[in-house]
Amino acid sequence: MWIDNDTFKTIVDTTPLVSIDLVVENANGEILLGQRTNRPAQGYWFVPGGRVLKDESLDAAFRRLTQAELGQVFERSQARLLGVYEHFYSDSVFGKGEGNPSTHYVVLGYHLKLDADMVLTPPKQQHSAYSWWSPKVMRDDPQVHENSRAYLAAL
């Protein structure tokens, strides 16, 4: 269920959001990252993902988010839970600074390993560009957000 901006701003200001992050690995061992167009983490390279909606099961959220973020539907049973993570940001989708809330996510990180012949064509709604990154380069590049780098320890 989508809600109006005023209600959502109150929610972001007063509660954590629940989300799913998708750590997508190709047959070469590279991880898919997108360059974020929206706050929080705007401009950083980040794994795809998004929030779970009210009254939406985790399975339904996983299907919706893989379609929206990867351009293809996957089942949660095709992925492995990496763990539960917390992401804290000083800004939010509403901006940064006075009158704008910070953001707190409780994140379910899932590892999705693609078959060698699988090709993704992710939409560019949340990310301006996509690229496959080796874990080594991800660890060392400051443009990769620390919250995305944190998943590497669990792979």
For the chain of 155 residues, list the mean pLDDT of each consecutive stretch of 10.
87 97 97 96 97 96 97 97 98 93 98 92 88 98 98 97
User: Is residue 49 part of an annotated ligand binding site?
Assistant: yes
Q: How far is CA 146 from the centre of its chain?
A: 13
Question: Which stretch of DSSP H or E encloses residue 113?
Answer: strand 103-113
- The confidence score (pLDDT) of residue 125 equals 79
Instruction: Give dist(CA 83, CA 95) in Å, integer.
Output: 29
The pTM is what? 0.95
User: Is residue 126 part of an annotated ligand binding site?
Assistant: yes
Question: Which stretch of DSSP H or E encloses residue 34?
Answer: strand 31-36
Helices (H) and strands (E) in the chain, counts: 4, 7
Domain spans, the chain: 5-153
- The confidence score (pLDDT) of residue 1 equals 63
Residue matched to tokens 């939010």 = 92
- The confidence score (pLDDT) of residue 78 equals 98
Structural contact between residues 49 and 19, judged by C-beta atoms closer than 8 angstroms: yes
Instruction: Give dist(CA 31, CA 111) in Å, integer.
Output: 10
Q: What is the CATH number assigned to the segment(s) 5-153?
A: 3.90.79.10
